[in-house]
Amino acid sequence: MRVPNSYLFTAYYDIGNGNVEQYEQGSDDRSMLEPEDPKRNAFYDIWYAEPPVRPKEQLYAFRLAAIDGVETPEGVARVIGVNLLTGLFEADGAQFLLHDHLKDDYNQIGPMRLIYFRNVAQMKKAVFNTDSGEQVGERLGYQLGYLLGWQAVVTKHFKRRSMQKFISIPGLPVWQN
């Protein structure tokens, strides 16, 4: 079952001399590098393809925007992004940190790397007869959520460790029958 997206991504690349290039996921979520392969999606182009659409080292920001007409849960931002140079997150234009790594006395080693997942939870709901209390059927559905953030190697008191900061973006349940 192919689950339709509720958010589409835009990847931002610093290609030098103050120039920025964008790669936008299409609504069909197909790879532009291998459009004939139905298993390849747009994220493949920026992360897994050899070579990717742009070098991963040039990726400096990643943003998810809710598709027009798609309902999102109440209180959930419609535009959510992460800056891989600063660690700043963005929700509907407001920027924030999930931590203060300078205050925590961490030293970052190397670049921040993107964390991005789509999470599909399949659901089943029993349908009961209100008079008899017997189960008379079931409804099938899914809930699509996203995880967005960054990962970096840091040191604190001369010990190396991986630091990850991410936010979870819930979706609404979609019932199929």
In a domain, 1, yes or no: no
What are the φ/ψ torsions at residue 57 (nearest 5 degrees)? Answer: -65, -20
What range does the domain containing 149 cover? Answer: 7-171
Total number of domains constituting the chain: 1
Count of CB atoms within 10 A of residue 3's CB? 14
Closest to 76 measured CA to CA, from 123, 142, 176, 6: 6
> Is 106:156 a contact under the CB 8 Å cutoff?
yes
Q: Tokens representing 140?
A: 């099938």
Quick one: pLDDT at residue 102?
A: 54
Burial class (CB in 10 A: 0-12, 13-18, 19+), 26: exposed
Runs of H (alpha helix) within the chain: 42-47
pLDDT beyond 90 at 109: no
In this structure, is residue 32 part of a structural domain? Answer: yes
Question: pLDDT tens for residues 121-142?
Answer: 888 889 999 999 999 988 888 8
What's at 177, amino acid-wise? N
pLDDT in tens, 75-103: 889 999 999 999 999 999 999 988 765 55
Q: Are strands 79-83 and 7-16 parallel, antiparallel or unpaired?
A: unpaired
How much is the pTM? Answer: 0.85
Q: CB of 144 within 8 A of CB of 106?
A: no
pLDDT of 65 reads: 95
Q: Is residue 93 part of a domain?
A: yes
Q: Is residue 105 part of a domain?
A: yes
Q: Residue 30's pLDDT is what?
A: 92
Is 176 part of any domain?
Answer: no
pLDDT at 59: 96
Residue 177 lies in a domain: no
Q: Give the residue-averaged pLDDT of 44-59.
A: 92
Residue 3 confidence (pLDDT): 80
Q: Which of 149, 26, 145 is nearest to 76 (CA)?
A: 145
Alpha-carbon radius of gyration of the chain: 20
